[in-house]
Every structure is written in structure tokens, then in C-alpha cells.
Chain A
Amino acid sequence: DAGVTQSPTHLIKTRGQQVTLRCSPKSGHDTVSWYQQALGQGPQFIFQYYEEEERQRGNFPDRFSGHQFPNYSSELNVNALLLGDSALYLCASNTGLGSYEQYFGPGTRLTVT
């Protein structure tokens, strides 16, 4: 039973560039959430996708956008990268909007120089 997978593992970008991170949910899961975890801090909720629509959003600017595909996989896009966007980006999945347990992927570590 494959868990949550994310790609790439590491990424280095330059300020102003755009980046796309990818996530495949755990088998049987249809809801995907994205989190940003800065160094030494807890994860911060970015947004959540269910049935290919953004259902909830945290306090992040419009530079952060996403997409969910019919197979439930998801992408996180960040435009006009800032140095402060350097963080571990975690993807989590669960079944439907009501289930309480989220399974996390290993994360993508993004470094912006």
C-alpha cells in the first residue's frame, strides 16, 4: 500500500522564478492538503483540494496556487519566488472532508537563492 509520495525531494530556485511541486495521495484517499514548514517551526496550512476544487485556504498570497487532477494527485505552484519561500513543503492526504487522520508525505525541500 503506497503512502503519500512527493516530488522532487529537493529543489533549488532563484528569486522571481516559478516552481511546481507534486503530490500523489495515499491509495484510497481523495483529499489533499498542502503545508509550508519553515525551519524550526510547525507546518502552516496553505490550502486543501477535494473533488478537484480548492476547499479551504490558509493565510497565503495568491502567488501560491494549486490543482487537483481526476486521479486525486495534486500540484502546488508558487510564482515570483521570494527568499522567504524557502521551506519544507508537505503534502497530506485523507479520505473525504470529514476524516480526522491525515497521512503526510516526506516533503519537498525548496531553497530559494
Chain B
Amino acid sequence: AQKITQTQPGMFVQEKEAVTLDCTYDTSDQSYGLFWYKQPSSGEMIFLIYQGSYDEQNATEGRYSLNFQKARKSANLVISASQLGDSAMYFCAMRVTNFNKFYFGSGTKLNVKP
């Protein structure tokens, strides 16, 4: 069975500081992808970053980076230089390659303080 766990229901960070959002996953499949999405209060899910299970380097997209530790089955999102507009819900998700459906965690609500 596939499972995503996000243990931080809420996080606070000061503007311009970095923050790490935790995500652990469970799967017996060898080929899978890990994703992070941002969901503002408007409801739309915004794709942030992707990491493939066979990728040897950690993914980076602008201020977002994914700290992928395969042996520990963790895929933490690091946001550098936080901005007020980063305040939102953040979801970690996994897609097993043989099954084209996504499994989502319960999310972390990030609040950026001025």
C-alpha cells in the first residue's frame, strides 16, 4: 500500500528565512515520483517540484528544493527566503509509476510572518 505522511499540521516562519516541510512516504514499488503542491485559500493546487525515485540529485526549482533521502523514505520541501505569498497549505504527493494516480498527505499549513 502507498502512504504519505506529513506530521506538521502547521508551521510558522519569519519572512526571508528558510523553512523545511517534512514528508515521509511508504511504498514497496521501486519506481515512483514525489511531488509537492501548494494550495492557497482559493483552492487551486499549484505544482511546485518533482523528484523521481531514480534521480540521484535533489530537485530544485527556484526557491524550492526537495531534500530526497531514499533510504529514509523522506522527501522534505525546503523553501528559501520565505515570502508573505508563500502562506498556504502544502501537500506532499506520490505517484507510483505503474499506477497513474496520486496519493496525497494531509498537508502542512505554512504561515509566513512579516
Mark out the residues of chain A between 16 and 35 whose CB falls within 8 Å of any chain B CB in the assembled complex: 31, 33, 35
Residues of A within 8 A of B (CB): 31, 33, 35, 40-45, 48, 55-56, 58, 88, 90, 92, 94, 97-98, 100-107, 109
Q: Assuming A44-B104, A90-B45, A106-B44, what are 18 further A-B pairs, CB within 8 angstroms?
A: A33-B102, A35-B104, A41-B106, A41-B107, A42-B104, A42-B105, A43-B102, A45-B103, A48-B100, A56-B99, A56-B101, A88-B43, A92-B102, A98-B100, A100-B33, A100-B50, A104-B46, A106-B42
B43 contact set on A, CB distance < 8 A: 88, 90, 106-107, 109
Interface size on B, residues (CB 8 A): 25
25 contacts between A and B (CB under 8 A): A33-B102, A42-B105, A42-B107, A44-B104, A45-B101, A45-B102, A48-B100, A56-B99, A56-B100, A92-B102, A94-B100, A98-B100, A100-B33, A100-B35, A100-B95, A101-B47, A101-B50, A102-B47, A102-B102, A103-B47, A104-B37, A104-B46, A105-B44, A106-B42, A106-B43
